[in-house]
Amino acid sequence: MPAHEGSHMYRAVPAQIDLPAMEHDVLDLWDAEQVFEASVAQSAGKPPWVSYEGPPTANGTPGTHHVEARVFKDVFPRYRTMKGFHVPRQAGWDCHGLPVELAVEKELGFSGKQDIERYGVAAFNERCRESVLRHVDEFTAMTRRMGYWVDFDRAYWTMDAEYVQSVWWSLKQIYDKGLLVQDHRVAPYCPRCGTGLSDHELAQGYETVIDPSVYVRFPITDEAFLTRFPGAVFLVWTTTPWTLVSNTAVAANPDADYSVVVTSDGETVVIASALVSSLLGDGTTELAVLKGSELERITYDRPFDLVEIPDAHYVILADYVTTDDGTGLVHQAPAFGADDLASCRSYGLPVINPVLPDGTFAVDVPVVGGLFFKKADATLVELLHDGGRLFKHLEYEHSYPHCWRCHTPLIYYAQPSWYIRTTAIKDQLIEQNELTNWFPGTIKSGRFGDWLNNNVDWALSRNRFWGTPLPIWRCPDGHLTVVESLAELSAIGGVDVTGTDPHRPYVDDITIPCTTCGATAARVPEVIDCWYDSGAMPFAAVGYPHVDAGAFAAQYPADFICEAIDQTRGWFYTLMAIGTLVFDRSSYRNVLCLGHILDEEGRKMSKHIGNVLEPIGLMNDHGADAVRWFMLASGSPWQARRVGHAAIGDVVRKTLLTYWNTVSFQSMYARLANWEPSQPAPAVADRPVIDRWLTAQAHELAREVDRSLEAFDTQRAGRLLSTFIDDLSNWYVRRSRRRFWDGDPAALATLHEALRITTLCMAPFTPFITERVWQDLFRTTDPDAATSVHLAEWPQADPGVIDAALAEDMALVRRIVELGRAARATSGIRTRQPLGRALVSASGWTSLSDDLRAEICEELNVAVIETLADDTAGFVEIAVKANFRALGQRFGKQTPLVAEAIASADPVALIAGIRSAGSVSIHASDVGDVTISEADLVVTETPREGWAVAAEGGESLALDLHITDSLHRAGIAREIVRAVQEARKQAGFDVSDRISVWWDTPDPVVRLALTEHHALIAQEVLATSFEEDTQRASASAVAVTVPDTSLGILIARSGDR
RNA sequence: GGGCCUAUAGCUCAGCUUGGUUAGAGCGCUUCCCUGAUAAGGAAGAGGUCGGUGGUUCAAGUCCACCUAGGCCCA
């Protein structure tokens, strides 16, 4: 509550805070004051900084990994906004595709496409649309809770009619360039989903499985060959016995050597020479070595006679065959392998496919008819065994592609599909990648660069229902008409269909006259890969070109995108590919690639294991700021990281609460002193050295955090901030407490400014707590302050204020203080007991200013501090070590010899010589005389006797432990002060309460201490009266116990008398 | 089989770009201290063959090679 009307005082900031509750209040504040909207509106006209929101698929509950990506997608826009850029942020939802279809299938209890067709495509797609809308709410709630500012009102939906038509437009551009084609190829195919998958979808679904690994005898039937080698068989290896049913040929490498060998069992077999010993072992007899080319067209008897395959079953030649594993003779089933198909086609072999689109063998196939392809393996292996064809049967563990959504093993399957010929723009893609900044950089040439180098055409079409329909109409003669919009369809067809839902089945009902021949053309049945949808968002999100061309121009390409590493071949690829296909340039300049979030044991989070951290719960336990800070600053963003309650709780205690308590401290004492930031304070240059130091550090902080964020390095920025907060609380405030009790304007103004800079720098990271602080400390005190910290400008670092020399000096001060504390601890004399003097030896010490030395004295509670080297009494022990870093540069190979010479020299004489002459010459064996200066040495000076000493890294401090009577009494006085303070706290007095003190003691030393230090004690404990008298006990008086004394004290609040 | 990443204290991680002789922090543990903001703070201690082997170098946690294990991605 403000002290009076029109005042510019801080609000009271309680020491205790419930962070999650505070965050909810801040969320309400942002809503009430429309802060996000204001931050975008306020920057209109400023240079744009564009980041794209990769649309999450709304088909399930958001997880902690979604929070991770969203934290990074939030922190940089907030930062750029503060830096004076205009950063519009459009939310987006990925609506189409298999994930959604599968979720709906599951809800409806369906098991395949037939079920969907029976249910009706219109109704099914309606369920898909409804499912998307349902799940979007959960994402919105999580997004709001975590403080990710993104504009949901303008969100793009990939299922919107405008979006779909934008995608159509782009496909037409690609078609017009001749890069959208239909082709029959062997492609990965999910038999359960009944559709082919693209290579980047394939990448999502590898699973480790154990398959049979069988070596099969293919008896040779070529008479000439058999005449030379009676009873010879080809040994053929496969891990997919089910494809043996459609065996069409055996491929050999024309240039490889093949051996005809008799095994130890007396059997004549043909395999690659390179594999004879590993496969057949010892005891074989080699009959002949033939080139693969000599085997061409040698016929054999196929393993199964279940389907008709005419004019086949001989050896063909193919370069891709290797002799690294298997037998060097590769079974060919052209319907189920891309290489097989190409090789067999070149020999004019037929392509026979006995497997139906649902993955089962056709019912009329003997033995395996109706069986799911994978399930046929066991039956077939048994059949091979019974027929004497099985040479060897092992199990083989390998990773095999599975459907990324339903986990059905995929089948490589020949079928017609639509492709985008990305291979035609491969060089352009590589060029665009060169112009892209990847974080971390290794992705660029590594994972992503490899992917581009091995680029294959994009299998675009899906034989499914809920997706963007391919905008291609075909007439009976096969002429194609590709359209870019419903308006174009209306124009061609002469019927207004602009109000039609551009989804199946409605769009399928539209027919148009063929633009080539005029015959009736109908849409091809396929929909497209939903990854195309999301990759099209840079233009489709604004409905380009049909809706708003200006918006697109302003937001292309993006300055920044960010997702987890699994998007390398997903969104990162589709964005770059579509951008390059349609606009000849990639859609983004900088891309941050995050590592995955793991559980506390380092396992992937999955529903199966039950180790999923539910993000809203996590944020309600610890606060969104804590989760955000963890994601940004704890560990390396591109490294897989373990997240758990302990790690996030740490963030709260170490960073957020320390910051908060510093704020609370400042608010408390400023209010007690009726201080306002607008009150005059001495110029920084005229303030005490510690104020100048803190101010310099704060400006350096602003500069360095800025640099880090420019380089997308949140980890370094976080480290800078938490170090600064620690310095602030545990050095500046700790050292300056007394000045705050006294209401010193210089101290209050210094801390105010330091907190202002910290709060601003931290705002993008932890937007809640910084907003609370901004409201309580800055908005209330400055009528010109921005109404939200997120509407404020980034703090300008003044290079003139930054003082590297002072920072170094202060670091030395703190190291010396640490030595002093260590010496105190080893001596057993508590800091409360004043000591007479300390001696210091450290490089840089002699040039330390008096006020910095005073800091050390005060902190260590010693009367004077002096230079150890000045003490000529001879009780200083000097140890000298070689400084290898300096010597190594000068002497290279001879460094150890010089170091040895230094070690064996008399350190006292050495130092005496150097200190008087600047350098000395010493003799090193095999090197000769060398000149040594102090920089070549690490000098440690320690006193010999009667002192408490601590030394580290060439710096040392010694405490004079002699306690005089006067020091003893001063110690007692401090002891009394501490005891009274403790009692005040116990009694629940406020820090500003004045008290009365009555005391009595039989001990003359204590009595003397009390009288001697009477004024000091009274001042320290805020006593308005301080009398020797224990008889005056009052009802509210509190007894104070002072350890190790026979002192009796009573205190009472002055007002309580 | 290939590519990339990772391996440092009981746990979580810095440090490696630019090599320097006592390898750090936080958490946890033991002992002690301090407390007029703090769920804080400080000191000491236990705990490390810096995954292994070789190499380069006067000097390797750091650079190089190979290997091992784990992860991710691909085939």
How high is the ipTM of this complex? 0.83
Q: Protein A336 CA to nucleic acid B75 C1', in Å? A: 16
Q: Whole-angstrom Cα distance, residue A324 to residue A339?
A: 17
Q: Among residues A778, A748, A749, A751, which one has the least CA distance to residue A763?
A: A778
Q: Could you give the 3-state DSSP secondary structure of residue A999?
A: strand
Tokens of A921: 């010459």
Q: Protein A444 CA to nucleic acid B3 C1', in Å? A: 13
Q: Protein A644 CA to nucleic acid B27 C1', in Å? A: 13
From the candidates A531, A675, A845, A947, give the one annotated as an active-site residue. Answer: A531
Is the per-residue pLDDT at A851 higher than 80?
yes
Please give the pLDDT value at position A1: 40
Which nt is closest to the CA of A669, judged by C1'? B37
Q: In what order do the strands lie in the sheet with A511-513?
A: A480-482, A472-474, A520-523, A511-513
What digits encode the pLDDT tens for the residues A247-260? 999 998 888 889 99
Query: Beta partners for A878?
Result: A941
Q: Protein A445 CA to nucleic acid B5 C1', in Å? A: 14
Q: Whole-angstrom Cα distance, residue A265 to residue A233?
A: 14
Q: Which residue is nearest to nucleotide B6 (CA to C1')?
A: A639
* Comparison of pLDDT for A782 and A960, the residue scoring more: A782
Query: Beta partners for A57?
Result: A94
CA dist list (Å): A594 to A89, A460, A576, A636, A639: 20, 27, 18, 9, 7
**Peptide linkage before A557 cis (omega within 30 of 0):** yes
Is the per-residue pLDDT at A575 higher than 70?
yes
Q: Which residue is nearest to nucleotide B57 (CA to C1')?
A: A893
Tokens of A731: 């050095």
How sure is the predictor about A942, in pLDDT bands with cuts at 50, 70 and 90?
low
From the candidates A30, A49, A56, A94, give the one annotated as an active-site residue. Answer: A94
Is the per-residue pLDDT at A939 higher than 80?
no
Please give the pLDDT value at position A980: 83
Q: Protein A514 CA to nucleic acid B73 C1', in Å? A: 45
Window from A76-85, A968-977, A1023-1032 with minimum mean pLDDT: A1023-1032
Is the per-residue pLDDT at A4 higher than 70?
no
Give the residue-averaged pLDDT of A1019-1040. 72
Is the per-residue pLDDT at A823 higher than 90?
no
Give the residue-averaged pLDDT of A484-489. 95
Question: Which value, in Å, is the radius of gyration of the alpha carbons in chain A?
Answer: 40
Give the residue-averaged pLDDT of A491-510. 93
* Comparison of pLDDT for A189 and A987, the residue scoring more: A189
Give the residue-averaged pLDDT of A218-226. 93
Q: Whole-angstrom Cα distance, residue A871 to residue A208?
A: 74
Q: Among residues A532, A527, A309, which one has the least CA distance to residue A422?
A: A532
Q: Protein A16 CA to nucleic acid B11 C1', in Å? A: 29
Helix axes A734-741, A745-762, angle to 10 degrees: 130
Which nt is closest to the CA of A647, judged by C1'? B12
Q: Which residue is nearest to nucleotide B70 (CA to C1')?
A: A602
Q: Whole-angstrom Cα distance, residue A191 to residue A211?
A: 18
Q: Whole-angstrom Cα distance, residue A392 to residue A843?
A: 77
Residues A335 and A412: beta-carbon distance below 8 Å: no
DSSP A362: P
Residue A478: other Cβ atoms inside 10 A: 11
Which nt is closest to the CA of A604, judged by C1'? B71
In which element (H, E) is residue A283 found? Answer: none
Which nt is closest to the CA of A985, judged by C1'? B36
Give the residue-averaged pLDDT of A96-109. 86
Give the residue-averaged pLDDT of A676-702. 91
Which nt is closest to the CA of A19, judged by C1'? B39
In which element (H, E) is residue A265 found? Answer: none
Q: Protein A711 CA to nucleic acid B17 C1', in Å? A: 15
The answer to whether A438 is a known catalytic residue is: no
Q: Could you give the 3-state DSSP secondary structure of residue A828?
A: coil
Please give the pLDDT value at position A3: 44
Which nt is closest to the CA of A451, judged by C1'? B74
CB-based contacts of A219-227 (< 8 A; 24+ apart in sequence): A219/A300, A219/A301, A220/A270, A220/A298, A220/A299, A220/A300, A220/A301, A221/A299, A221/A300, A221/A301, A222/A298, A222/A299, A222/A300, A225/A298
Task: Write the burial class of residue A585 (CB in 10 Å: 0-12 exposed, 13-18 middle, 19+ buried).
Answer: middle
Q: Protein A455 CA to nucleic acid B74 C1', in Å? A: 12
Full DSSP string of A136-183: HHHHHHHHHHHT---EEEEEEETTSHHHHHHHHHHHHHHHHTT-EEEE
The answer to whether A415 is a known catalytic residue is: no
CA dist list (Å): A459 to A315, A337, A462: 31, 16, 8
**The most confident of A341-355, A670-684, A1023-1037, by mean pLDDT:** A670-684
Which nt is closest to the CA of A940, judged by C1'? B22
Burial pattern A875-911, b for ≥16 Cβ within 10 A else e, equals ebebebebbeebbbeebeebbebbbebbeebebeebb
Q: Whole-angstrom Cα distance, residue A738 to residue A718?
A: 30
Give the residue-averaged pLDDT of A64-78. 90
The answer to whether A607 is a known catalytic residue is: yes
Q: Which residue is nearest to nucleotide B38 (CA to C1')?
A: A661
Q: Whole-angstrom Cα distance, residue A792 to residue A736?
A: 29
- Strand A315-317 and strand A249-252: pairing? parallel
Is the per-residue pLDDT at A868 higher than 80?
no
Please give the pLDDT value at position A600: 63
Q: Which residue is nearest to nucleotide B13 (CA to C1')?
A: A635
Please give the pLDDT value at position A347: 85
Question: Percent of chain A, pLDDT > 70?
Answer: 94
How sure is the predictor about A73, in pLDDT bands with cuts at 50, 70 and 90?
very high
Q: Protein A166 CA to nucleic acid B18 C1', in Å? A: 51
Give the residue-averaged pLDDT of A726-748. 87
Q: Average per-residue pLDDT in chain A?
A: 85
From the candidates A319, A477, A607, A986, give the one annotated as an active-site residue. Answer: A607
CA dist list (Å): A801 to A700, A849, A867: 9, 18, 30
Is the per-residue pLDDT at A40 higher than 90?
yes
Percentage helix, strand, coil, to 5, in chain A? 45, 20, 35
How sure is the predictor about A1057, in pLDDT bands with cuts at 50, 70 and 90?
very low
* Comparison of pLDDT for A697 and A59, the residue scoring more: A697
- List protein-proximal bases of chain B (any atom < 7 A from a CB): 1, 3-6, 12-14, 20-22, 26-27, 32-44, 57-59, 70-75
Please give the pLDDT value at position A1034: 55
In which element (H, E) is residue A914 found? Answer: helix A907-917
Please give the pLDDT value at position A618: 85
Window from A491-495, A851-855, A984-988 with minimum mean pLDDT: A984-988
* Comparison of pLDDT for A68 and A481, the residue scoring more: A481
Q: Protein A748 CA to nucleic acid B2 C1', in Å? A: 63
Please give the pLDDT value at position A692: 92
Give the residue-averaged pLDDT of A1004-1015. 86
Q: Protein A769 CA to nucleic acid B68 C1', in Å? A: 47
Window from A601-605, A791-795, A863-867, A906-910 with minimum mean pLDDT: A601-605
From the candidates A182, A432, A567, A666, give the one annotated as an active-site residue. Answer: A567
Q: Whole-angstrom Cα distance, residue A271 to residue A234?
A: 7
Q: Among residues A376, A459, A461, which one has the least CA distance to residue A422?
A: A459
Which nt is closest to the CA of A662, judged by C1'? B37
Residues 6+ apart with CB under 8 A from A550: none
Which nt is closest to the CA of A653, judged by C1'? B39
How sure is the predictor about A807, in pLDDT bands with cuts at 50, 70 and 90?
confident
Query: Beta partners for A862?
Result: A835
Q: Protein A404 CA to nucleic acid B2 C1', in Å? A: 22
Burial pattern A299-310, b for ≥16 Cβ within 10 A else e, equals bbebbbebbebe
Q: Could you give the 3-state DSSP secondary structure of residue A606?
A: coil
Tokens of A350: 């037929």
Is the per-residue pLDDT at A5 higher than 50?
no
How sure is the predictor about A1030, in pLDDT bands with cuts at 50, 70 and 90?
low
Q: Whole-angstrom Cα distance, residue A181 to residue A738?
A: 79
The answer to whether A473 is a known catalytic residue is: no
Please give the pLDDT value at position A2: 40
Give the residue-averaged pLDDT of A273-281. 82
Q: Protein A419 CA to nucleic acid B75 C1', in Å? A: 21
How sure is the predictor about A91, in pLDDT bands with cuts at 50, 70 and 90?
very high
Residue A632: other Cβ atoms inside 10 A: 21
CB-based contacts of A639-642 (< 8 A; 24+ apart in sequence): A639/A595, A640/A595, A640/A596, A640/A597, A640/A598, A640/A602, A641/A595, A641/A596, A641/A597, A641/A598, A642/A598, A642/A599, A642/A600, A642/A601, A642/A602
Q: Protein A821 CA to nucleic acid B44 C1', in Å? A: 11
Helix axes A714-727, A745-762, angle to 10 degrees: 160
From the candidates A83, A177, A291, A604, give the one annotated as an active-site residue. Answer: A604
Which nt is closest to the CA of A652, judged by C1'? B39
DSSP A731: I
The answer to whether A30 is a known catalytic residue is: no
From the candidates A168, A242, A438, A571, give the one annotated as an active-site residue. Answer: A571
Please give the pLDDT value at position A250: 92
The answer to whether A851 is a known catalytic residue is: no
Q: Could you give the 3-state DSSP secondary structure of residue A896?
A: helix
Q: Whole-angstrom Cα distance, residue A795 to residue A777?
A: 16
The answer to whether A94 is a known catalytic residue is: yes
Q: Protein A973 CA to nucleic acid B40 C1', in Å? A: 26
- Strand A437-439 and strand A285-291: pairing? unpaired
Residues 6+ apart with CB under 8 A from A105: A111, A115, A116
* Comparison of pLDDT for A939 and A10, the residue scoring more: A10
Helices (H), A652-799: 657-672, 689-710, 714-727, 734-741, 745-762, 767-773
Give the residue-averaged pLDDT of A58-70. 82
Residues 6+ apart with CB under 8 A from A874: none
Residues A843 and A837: beta-carbon distance below 8 Å: no
Window from A481-485, A603-607, A837-841, A951-955 with minimum mean pLDDT: A603-607
From the candidates A30, A49, A55, A697, give the one annotated as an active-site residue. Answer: A55
Is the per-residue pLDDT at A22 higher than 90?
yes
Task: Write the burial class of residue A167 (CB in 10 Å: 0-12 exposed, 13-18 middle, 19+ buried).
Answer: buried
Is the per-residue pLDDT at A768 higher than 90?
yes
Tokens of A736: 């300056």
